[in-house]
Each structure stands twice: as C-alpha cells, then as structure tokens.
Structure 1
Amino acid sequence: MSKPSSKSKEFFIDIDDETQNVNQQSGYVWEEEYKRSWDVLQEDEDGSLKRSIDHLQNRLKRKRLLRDTSTIRRGIIRNMFLIIDLSEAMMEKDLRPSRLDLTLSYAEQFILEFFDQNPISQLGIIVSKGGVAERLTGLSGNPMDNIIALKNKKNIDVDGEPSLQNSLELARSSLIHTPTHGSREILLIMGSLTSCDPGDIYESIEDLVKDNVRVSIVGLSAEVQICKYICKRTKGTYGVVLNEAHFKDLLFEIIPPPPVSVAQSNSKLVMMGFPSSVNQSSPYLCACHNKPVTSGYTCARCNSNICDIPTECPICELTLVSSPHLARSYHHLFPVENYTEVPWNSATTTHCFACQISFPSLSERTLPKNLETSSGRYNCQKCNQHFCIDCDVFVHEAIHNCPGCLATSQNNLKSLMGQVNGNFENYENYEKMNLS
C-alpha cells in the first residue's frame, strides 16, 4: 500500500480520536454486563417452547424489514460496478464452504435481485488479483451477461494480492462517461487485509469524490482503516462480515437506490423510448451484438433491432425501457410504511387481511402476563388492517404495495363512481320533469 501524505495523516488522527472518544464514553464490549441468552426462551403453561421460538423467528424476519421509509429523492437509474477480490485470502474457510465460493454464490443472488428491484439500471463486474484489476463485463442491463462471466472458471482463479487503487481507478474511468442523471456507484467485496497499489491512493479517492462516485465496501476479514476512510469520503457504507447471514444482509442493503447527489439533483428531463416487440420466422442481425436472432425489440427512434431491454440503443443512444420497468423502479420513491406490532390487548382480529390465515389465539388460561407483548399481528397505520409476519415480509420485499390500502382506494373509487352515477341519474330525471 502506498505511503500516505501528510494531509492524509491528519484525517487518520481525527478518525482515531473520534473512535477513542466513543470507546471511552460507551465502554468496551467485554466490560458490558454478562447476559444469559438462554433465559429468552420461556415455556408456556403446557411446557412447550414453540411460542418463544416463533417469536424469535418473527423478530429475525422483521429485523431485515425495518428500514427508513421517509419520502426522499432517490436515483432510480443506477450505474454500478461490482468489484470482487480474487486474492489468495479468498481461499480462507472461515466462511463456509470458503470465502470465494460463498462470495460468488451471493454475487449471483445480488445481481438477480439488483436488476429485479432496479430494472432500468446497469451493472458491470471487475476482479482484482495479482496486483492488477481486470474488467470482466462492462455496464450492462442484462443480468445473465454478468452471471455467465462469474460462472466461467477461468475468471475466478485466485492469485497474489488485490489492488485497491487499480480497481477503483478502472471503475471510475468507466463511470465518468455515464450521464449525470444516473448514480455512479462501486460495490467492493474485499477479503484481503493488504493491497498492492502503484501510487498514492488518496489522490484516487479525491478523484472519486470529484466525480461523484459512491463507494461501498463489504469486508470479509477485519475492519481496514483505508476502506473506512474511502466509504466516509464518498458517502458510501462500510461493513465487516460476522457470519454467512450477515454477509448476505450487507450485500442486499445496497439494492435500494441511495439518495440523489448534487449532480443528479441538477439534472433535467431524461428522454426515453418504448420499443416494440418483434418476432420473425427468419433470423436478422441485432445492432447490439451483431448476431442473428429471431426475436427482440425495435428502437422507437431509428428502428434498429435490439436483443433485450432495458438498454441504450447503440445507434442513436436512446434509452430503451418498458412501462413495467418504470413501474418496478417507481416504488422506491414511495415505499410502504413499516407495519407496527399489535399487542395482545389490541388483538381484535382473527384472520390476516391478505392471506386469510387465522391468527394465533390465546385463551384466558394461556394469556400472557404482559399484555403489551406482540400478538403475531402487524398493523398498517394508513388502512388499519392487520397482517401476519409472512404477508408483512411479502408486502415490503416483493409487491411493495399494501393490500389494505389498495382495497380501500378501490372501495373509495367505487363509492365515488356510484355517487357520480346517482347524481347523473337525478340530473336526467330533473331534465325530463322540466321538459314535461
């Protein structure tokens, strides 16, 4: 790793001082009070632990749901590079089956989920090993191009040490050509504690800040000060993996789009085209890959043949999307509010509003002493309907629309249409009376 400049050392001193102040105020982990975690499990009147286990499982499910749902400006057009460390440190087996195998497995899941939640975005892959960085795929809107590149065994051979500076510079050189209305992001999965850099990495960090590139890092070994500094300067996120489940949680926290930057907020309207689908019996050449295909799309501006959407037309550079893509990206701007837990003293419903599965009921013999505990029901603050934990997860992670609110809006619309029709009939009768 390159030697930091005197100006960079001042930043390190500030960060260390802040860390020491926090530790002095809050104390260390080993100084905390000893907790007996097995006391959380309590038997009911029949000697069963099922209720306690279900309660713990529901807590774990909702922990991943509770996020910031405030209405803020987010960039739904994202340009991201996924950088994967392929150094010898990735062969460690502290994460089963190994760091490399688990990283590749989670990377495929991340790519599929990223394009499902951000269909009009683009993603590319860069690997770093032997002190160099290599670009496997460029920015593309097709998830299968990235997954096929990861499954190629020639691309995942480990060697030497990674180069943090070369990886960031390669990603930055590709992102600076993207339009300003889209976000520029880098997600780095790093398992090594060292880096082989050819120059001053702090100059590269300042270039990232100047070009509005957001860097988020997931560490597999331990916290590295330079990684923490990069994420702090570029307003990204930095987390160190605790176990396999925590690794997946840190990756999937990057999927929701971040707030817009200053450069994005100054952007104007974006021109997009809605291509028409084409199916022909005889093959024709596509403009994107120059390969014979029989089905695809036609550009709305220049009538060029495109294999798949969303993408940018290679001829006229028009952004080509479809209406379902825009609809799936739109829900990030208006997220569903977090459901609140319903205590037993307010548990008046018997069935889930969405799936109609009956809620657990307690008789007076098995009624808990503390009526403020959760009853397995979760309430929407807008429509006041109760849902089970599975529907709560499905609403916030899949459909992104509350069934109770949709039903209420439809009923209100039907009532309004009925009033309009009734007023129209009364008006017709009034006209007939006047004519007679």
Structure 2
Amino acid sequence: MDGRNRWEGDLSRTWESLKEDEEGRLGVVGRRQQSRAGQEQEAAVRRNMIRYLYLVVDMSHSMGMRDFRPSRAGATQQLLKDFATRFFTQNPLSNLGVICTHDGVAEKLTDLSGNPRAHAEALSQKFTTSGEASLQNALEVACSLLKGIPDYGNREVLVVFSSLTSRDPADIFATIDKLRKHKIRVSVIHLAAEVHVMRSLVDKTGGSFGVARDFQHVKSLLMEHLVPPATPPQTDPDAEMVLMGFPSRIQQADAVLGYDSGAPAFLSVAFECPRCGTRTSELPSTCVVCTLPLISSPHLAQSYHHLSPLGVFHTSDEETASPCAGCGVDGPSERVVCGKCRGKFCLDCERFLQESLHNCPRCLELAGQC
C-alpha cells in the first residue's frame, strides 16, 4: 500500500470504541464521548496563571526505536514543537525551557523565557540520540534553575522519557527529596512502560504519570499539561503583587537600537519598556535591562480563561439535528448542548470553543440582551 509491511502500520484499537450500557449491551461510543471523556472541569479550582516549566527530553539511543513513526525521536520532536507553540498560546504569562539528557549527562538547550520562537528553533534542530539517559542529572539541572523562582510562580518539570534505565551518579531519591523541598512539581510521560522510580518521583512531587500507547496518545498526554495544575486545597499562599509593565508600541522611520530575542538589533517597530525605556521586538517578554516582565492587556485576559473555564457540554438526545448555534450548519451530525444556555453545537464548533475561544457565543449573546 504505502511501501510498509502490515505490522509497521498504525494499530487499530477497534475495541476501544465499544462500551457496555446499563443493560449489558455493547454499543459504539461516539467521537465526542471519546474526545471529551474525563475533561469536565472541577468547580472553584484555584490555579496559578504564571508558570515556570522545564521540558526534560530523553535523547538516549532508545529514542531511535521505530515503534513510533518515523522514530521515537522524530515523533517526540514534532509533538514538542507543537506543544511549545500551544503552551504560550494558552499561558502567555508563563516561561518555558528545554533540557536534554544523553550519554549520561544533562544539557540545557534553552533558558527559561517567554519567547516561543527560541524554543521552536531549538526543537527544530535534528535530535541526535546517543548513549544512555540520566534522569538524576536532568532533574538536578532543572532544580538548580527553578529553586530561585518566586513563590507566586508554579515550578514545574515535564519529563518525556523513553529509556527503561537511567545512568545516575548518586542516590536519585535524595534528588527527589530536594525537588519536594523546593516545591517543584514533576510529571512524566513515558514512551514504553511504567518505571518504579518515576512513579515514586511523581507521587512525591504531586505530578502525574502517563504511559503512551501510540502517537495520538502522546499528543493527548502533552495537551493535558497546557492547563495550569490545580493548587492543592491545603495550600493557602499569601497574596503577592506581581510587578509587570505594559509597554507602548513605537514605530519610526529610522531604526533604533533595541533587543530582538535578547540580542541587540536595530528596530523600526518596537515596544518600549515603561520603566527604563529599553525597546524590544515582541511581547510577552522580559526587559533585558531592568528584567521587568512586559505584557499586553490581551495576554492578561487570555490567561484568565483557566480560572473560569467553559462549562461542560452534554450530548443532545434529539433524533433530528437542529442547526449549529456556532457555524449555522444544518446537518445530520451529532450535536452537543451547552450546560448553561442550552445552545446546540456541532462537534467541530464545540472543540473550537473548548480549545481556542474559551467562551460560548450563545451565552454571550444572551448576556448582552439582559
């Protein structure tokens, strides 16, 4: 068919679409039920809008295995590039960094920053896999970089691991205790199996653990980390004011010296820091001179949707599909109903509302009529 053997094709898990009802009969689960299962938002959950996340990527020889196409390394690189872009779309006030481990050492690819372009360029370079991974060295590097983060920010590490072994120089459980002391939350996505030391790591630091079944499952596990983790109910942090700057946009005929991705550059269109007057090429960013976080009001509003998530949508029981309240298309496709305004939407519109718009247009329309 496409030059591959039959056993090299994607696994078709047809049994996963079957579900037993209350009367013991098997039925096919709809696309909407599979995609939205387990995604209902809890009520009154406290979340931190400012996150400091380090991605730890395994680049050992095990990433060269071809159970993922074209290989584990190639599939992971593609998914992490998409994750970095989506991360800053969903969390514009947050910072991201990348650490890789191979040949028993850990290497920092990118610093913590709010510049998605720098991370995309680093993740676009070809992944060279060699030697064995060292989980402890990667965690030590992440801990040394995150322990100085202010208390108002979430300190997080997301490990994407492939190897079943780790070449560590000392006691990794001492490193786990250090992470717990500095309140660093570690989550793990493993591409092969559940490993005891990693399960202990996430349990002690309050993270999550997932074992990927296939390419799409890796993607769904990564997308779960786009939403800021819920603050534990027993935690009662003191309110703290975070100083941020809202720069003005300046456009001149003659280019003026400023900074582009942290490097000096001549800019004709730039954003001027309200504190020191230094110019930068993009927002959000951090002023190179006075280290003031620079954002715009849309970025602040975009982060707010995590604190007031869109309500749960339910499957419509009507046999005749009514026009979609979003796109207006009238067809036989399945409909879902907003739990607040009872507006009916098709599956594509519901996915767009949940992942991008974060608002129900029917609810906004009714609110405007009041």
TM-score, normalization: structure 1?
0.75
Aligned: 1:102 with 2:75: yes
> Shift of the alpha carbon at 1:228?
0.6
Aligned partner (choices 388, 395, 398) of residue 346 of structure 2:
388
Q: Deviations over 1:370-411 (max 9, x none)?
A: xxxxx8221112112211211111111110001111000011
Alignment partner of 2:264: what SS? coil
Rounded to whole Å, the distance in 2 between the matches of 1:87 and 1:400 is 39
> Shift of the alpha carbon at 1:78?
0.6
Aligned twin of 1:46: none
Q: Which amino acid aligns with 1:101?
A: G
Aligned twin of 1:333: 307
Rounded to whole Å, the distance in 2 between the matches of 1:246 and 1:264 is 34
Structure 1 pair 197/39, CA: closer, same or farther in 2 (3 Å)? closer
Aligned: 1:268 with 2:244: no
Rounded to whole Å, the distance in 1 between the matches of 2:125 and 2:213 is 28
Rounded to whole Å, the distance in 1 between the matches of 2:17 and 2:322 is 30
Q: Deviations over 1:102-161 (max 9, x none)?
A: 0000000000111110011110111100000000100010111011112223xx211110
Alignment partner of 1:396: what SS? helix
Aligned twin of 2:204: 233
Aligned 1:7-406 pairs, distance under 5 A: 37=15, 56-63=30-37, 66-153=39-126, 156-260=127-231, 265-287=237-259, 288-344=262-318, 350-360=322-332, 376-406=334-364
> Shift of the alpha carbon at 1:176?
1.5
> Shift of the alpha carbon at 1:267?
4.1
For the aligned residue pairs, the C-alpha RMSD in angstroms reads 2.3
Q: Which amino acid aligns with 2:220?
A: D
Moved over 4 A (4+): 36-41, 261-264
Rounded to whole Å, the distance in 2 between the matches of 1:123 and 1:40 is 39
Q: Is 2:322–2:344's contact at 8 Å kept on the other side of the alignment?
A: no
Q: Is 1:353–1:387's contact at 8 Å kept on the other side of the alignment?
A: yes
Rounded to whole Å, the distance in 2 between the matches of 1:352 and 1:152 is 43
Structure 1, 394-403 or 255-264: larger mean CA deviation: 255-264
Rounded to whole Å, the distance in 1 between the matches of 2:210 and 2:321 is 41
Aligned twin of 2:11: none
Rounded to whole Å, the distance in 2 between the matches of 1:37 and 1:272 is 52
> Shift of the alpha carbon at 1:350?
2.3
Rounded to whole Å, the distance in 2 between the matches of 1:73 and 1:165 is 31
Alignment partner of 1:331: what SS? helix
Alignment partner of 1:139: what SS? strand
> Shift of the alpha carbon at 1:39?
10
> Shift of the alpha carbon at 1:315?
2.2
Q: Deviations over 1:412-431 (max 9, x none)?
A: 1xxxxxxxxxxxxxxxxxxx
Rounded to whole Å, the distance in 2 between the matches of 1:120 and 1:40 is 41
Aligned: 1:410 with 2:368: yes
Q: Is 1:161–1:196's contact at 8 Å kept on the other side of the alignment?
A: yes
Rounded to whole Å, the distance in 2 between the matches of 1:236 and 1:39 is 29
Rounded to whole Å, the distance in 1 between the matches of 2:18 and 2:56 is 41
Alignment partner of 1:254: what SS? helix
Q: Is 1:175–1:184's contact at 8 Å kept on the other side of the alignment?
A: yes
> Shift of the alpha carbon at 1:348?
7.3
- Count of residues in correspondence between the two structures: 348
Q: Is 1:83–1:188's contact at 8 Å kept on the other side of the alignment?
A: yes
Alignment partner of 2:30: what SS? helix
Structure 1 pair 264/147, CA: closer, same or farther in 2 (3 Å)? farther
Rounded to whole Å, the distance in 2 between the matches of 1:40 and 1:164 is 38
Q: Is 2:335–2:347's contact at 8 Å kept on the other side of the alignment?
A: yes
> Shift of the alpha carbon at 1:76?
0.7
Q: Deviations over 1:228-250 (max 9, x none)?
A: 11001110011011111111111
Q: Which amino acid aligns with 1:272?
A: M
Q: Which has the larger radius of gyration?
A: 1
Q: Is 2:321–2:334's contact at 8 Å kept on the other side of the alignment?
A: no
Q: Is 2:270–2:281's contact at 8 Å kept on the other side of the alignment?
A: yes
Q: Is 1:216–1:237's contact at 8 Å kept on the other side of the alignment?
A: yes
Q: Is 2:41–2:309's contact at 8 Å kept on the other side of the alignment?
A: no
Structure 1: give runs of 5+ residues left out of the alignment.
1-35, 42-51, 361-374, 413-436
Higher helix share: 1
> Shift of the alpha carbon at 1:63?
3.2
